[in-house]
Amino acid sequence: MHLLVSTLLFCLFTVSGVLLYVPQLVLLARGGDASALSVSSLLSGVVNYAAWDVYLGLSHAWMLLVTNTLSLVVWYALTALALRRLPLTGACLAPLAWLALLVALVLVDRSLLGPVLGFGSLLTVAPQAISVWTVPSVAGLSPTTWTLLAVQGVAWLVQSLPTGLVGGIVYGVVASAGSASVLSALALRGRAIPAVADVVPRVRGDLPAPATTDLTLAS
């Protein structure tokens, strides 16, 4: 039974971690526009994934290490494709500073590496989890990506809680809570925004009201 549970968890980690960025990777590979991607975020991800590998290896969390490494490969491929089309400018400064901090932690006090990496995940997820409630439109957000991130967060919690893996617990909470916020906003605002858009023309009176079929499609 324990072997079966471990195998299922491994598959869950792998699927949620690797597939999380595959849609964006495929889009870029097909010549998609990379201008909306943040160079700083991409490079910070390069640092984070490598640092998580170090942390998980030091913690002997082998299952998480394997799945994180697989996710690392996908992220590195995504970053390599994107950087061929994006200017670096000053975007390297923040990732380099983050790298310097993580290296210092490894050399001075490795026990702090996990919590700090978890905090780094908070810096990545929290802005989107908050702004999704205030931006004019949520059309550009992918429910699939955030659903997979939620699954990944729960899986990390399940794996990390029994062993007391602090970094994994912090990341699991951050990923789960952030995904819940984004998915809730998508569910609530995704229906509210078309309704508002339909009301505005009728209030102004300079555009015809939408047909019944349009209302049906919008809902």
**pLDDT tens-place string over residues 63-73:** 788 888 988 99
Closest-CA residue to 42 (of 4, 1, 98, 3) = 98
73 or 218, higher pLDDT: 73
Q: What is the pLDDT of residues 99-129, one digit of tens each?
A: 999 999 888 888 888 888 888 887 778 877 8
Q: Give the domain range for residue 183.
A: 2-218
> How far is it between the farthest Cα atoms of the chain?
68
Q: What is the mean pLDDT of residues 80-97?
A: 81
d(C-alpha 210, C-alpha 39), whole Å: 41
Closest-CA residue to 59 (of 118, 111, 18, 19) = 111
pLDDT of residue 34: 66
What's the domain count of the chain? 1
What mean pLDDT value characterizes the chain?
76
Q: What is the pLDDT of residues 151-164, one digit of tens each?
A: 888 888 888 898 88
pLDDT at 96 over 50: yes
pLDDT of residue 33: 65
Q: CA 138, 140, 143 angle in degrees (round to 5)?
A: 80
Q: In the structure, what pLDDT confidence band is assigned to residue 6 with cuts at 50, 70 and 90?
A: low
d(C-alpha 112, C-alpha 54), whole Å: 13
